[in-house]
Amino acid sequence: MRFLPTSLPGVVVVETPRLEDERGSFERSYCRDSFAAAGLPDLGVQCNISGNRSRLTLRGMHFQAAPEPDAKLVRCLSGRLFDVAVDIRPDSPTHRQWTAVELAAGDGRALFVPAGFAHGFLTLADDTTVFYMMGASYRAELSRGFRWDDPEVAIAWPDTPIVVSARDRALPPLAAIAVVDLAR
């Protein structure tokens, strides 16, 4: 596994080599020991799959509030997506800054999003399936988010979303979220 830094400290692109032979291919999607050696947390708490029927489906910007902020490792199983992490730590020098990578099925890449960051994505192909591991169990009462089009964050999405849930359309701007909810 290779761990490549992004423009935001703590957000890391994880590359995994793919081995191929006459049977097909094999690649490791996660290794606790490799993550520990890279200084990243154990993500063996919960795994989720997000199925998205249509191109330009947007999910985000989501995070889990303190006291259990969640880290994520995001990988594309089918299709293609634009994956975004935003630093929401109030005292961080990169507060409200974002970084993004394109993930595609079979590219051997994943994005590690640490606790203290919001996460969201826009699908770039129909039938995009996203697999993500989480470092904390989902707790509905701690689930938070802010608007994907918040002008103060100014994410440069590659296209205009077409499918956005009512929940995500109703999210407030980041500035309206109570500081006590943001990860420290």
Q: What is the pLDDT of residue 163?
A: 98
CA distances from 122 to 35, 63, 103, 128, 161 (A): 26, 16, 10, 10, 7
Q: What is the pLDDT of residue 179?
A: 74
Taken in order of first residue, the domains within the chain and their CATH numbers are 2-17+27-174 (2.60.120.10)
Strand ranges, E, within the chain? 2-5, 12-15, 19-21, 24-26, 46-52, 57-64, 72-78, 80-87, 98-104, 109-113, 117-123, 128-134, 143-145, 163-164
Residues noted as catalytic: 62, 132
Q: What is the pLDDT of residue 174?
A: 96
pLDDT in tens, the chain (184 residues): 999 999 999 999 999 999 999 999 999 999 999 999 999 999 999 999 999 999 999 999 999 998 999 999 999 999 999 999 999 999 999 999 999 999 999 999 999 999 999 999 999 999 999 999 999 999 999 999 999 999 999 999 999 999 999 999 999 999 999 876 775 5
Q: Which residue has the tokens 């359309």?
A: 169
